[in-house]
């Protein structure tokens, strides 16, 4: 059975260790998200910090650092203000990752355009119908045993079906799933004028929490081909 290597592009913050550099770093993300066509303000998830609130938190952090420099404020207050900003940027990173996973050909541009750095996570995949957890919590990698353009589907019960975006490849990423949920996935090559293709057998996967090894903590982060009646 042949294998291939793909690179999952992961957004990282890379926060510097020196305080002036940290200020510059958070301001860079703020600037790049402002007016960003990939993240129009009205489209941000409700549970994500707003751009306006990010600006308020960054201002509070800079003010606290200035107070430390002038010896009118404490490092504890500065550290607390910084942790608020860092939490904001980590939450925003999740939003950026979801967008990147849904747009694989332009993922790197989406990530760097939002002010984050790109980390390549190498994944060796076998050409088989499969579902695997990735380093990103709630993001699943689907693969097919056939080359070419593909359609993809997911379902909780193999009855109510959600159609996923088609791809020109034999793999795709499904982001923004809830860790711990059980999902069924399947795929088929896109039909041509001469050939109609069948759907693969369903494969089932419990969505993982992310991390270096993926997985769920109690079960492998890998499904493999299963019969539709499993």
- What CATH code would you report for 127-206? 2.60.40.10
Give pLDDT, residue 2.
60
- The H or E element containing residue 158 is none
Give pLDDT, residue 4.
65
Give pLDDT, residue 122.
73
Give pLDDT, residue 65.
98
Going by C-beta distance under 8 Å and a sequence separation of 6 or more, which residues neighbour residue 44? 50, 51, 95
Count other Cβ atoms within 10 Å, centred on residue 189: 19
Count other Cβ atoms within 10 Å, centred on residue 43: 9
What is the DSSP track for 167-204? ESSSEEEE-SPPTT-EEEEEEEEPP-SS--PPPPPPEE
Give pLDDT, residue 218.
47
What residue ranges of the chain have pLDDT lower than 70?
1-4, 123-126, 211-230
Q: Are 202 and 130 in contact (CB under 8 A)?
A: no
Give pLDDT, residue 229.
31
pLDDT digits (tens, 9 = 90+) for 190-209: 999 899 999 999 999 999 88
Q: SS3 of 133, please? A: strand
Give pLDDT, residue 225.
37
The count of C-alpha atoms lying within 13 angstroms of the C-alpha of 188, restricted to the half-sphere facing its C-beta, is: 14
Q: Domain limits of the chain?
A: 10-113, 127-206
Whole-model pTM: value is: 0.69
């Amino acid at each position: 059975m042949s294998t291939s290597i793909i690179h999952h592009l992961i957004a990282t913050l890379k926060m510097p260790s020196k305080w002036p550099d940290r200020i510059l770093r958070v301001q860079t993300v703020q600037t790049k998200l402002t007016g960003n066509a990939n993240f129009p303000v009205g489209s941000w998830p409700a549970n994500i910090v707003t751009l306006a609130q990010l600006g308020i938190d960054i201002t509070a952090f800079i003010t606290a650092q200035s107070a430390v420099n002038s010896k009118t404020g404490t490092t504890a207050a500065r550290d607390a203000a910084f942790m608020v900003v860092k939490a904001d940027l980590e939450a925003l990173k999740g939003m950026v990752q979801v967008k990147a996973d849904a747009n694989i050909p332009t993922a790197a541009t989406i990530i760097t355009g939002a002010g984050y750095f790109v980390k390549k996570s190498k994944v060796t995949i076998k050409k088989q119908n499969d579902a695997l957890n990735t380093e990103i919590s709630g993001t699943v990698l689907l693969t097919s045993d056939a080359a070419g353009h593909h359609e993809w589907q997911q379902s909780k019960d193999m009855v109510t079906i959600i159609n996923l975006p088609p791809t020109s490849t034999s793999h795709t990423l499904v982001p923004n799933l809830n860790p711990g949920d059980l999902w069924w996935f399947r795929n088929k090559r896109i039909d041509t004028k001469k050939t109609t293709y069948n759907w693969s057998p369903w494969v089932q996967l419990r969505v993982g929490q992310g991390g270096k090894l993926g997985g769920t903590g109690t079960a492998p982060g890998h499904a493999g081909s299963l019969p539709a009646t499993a």
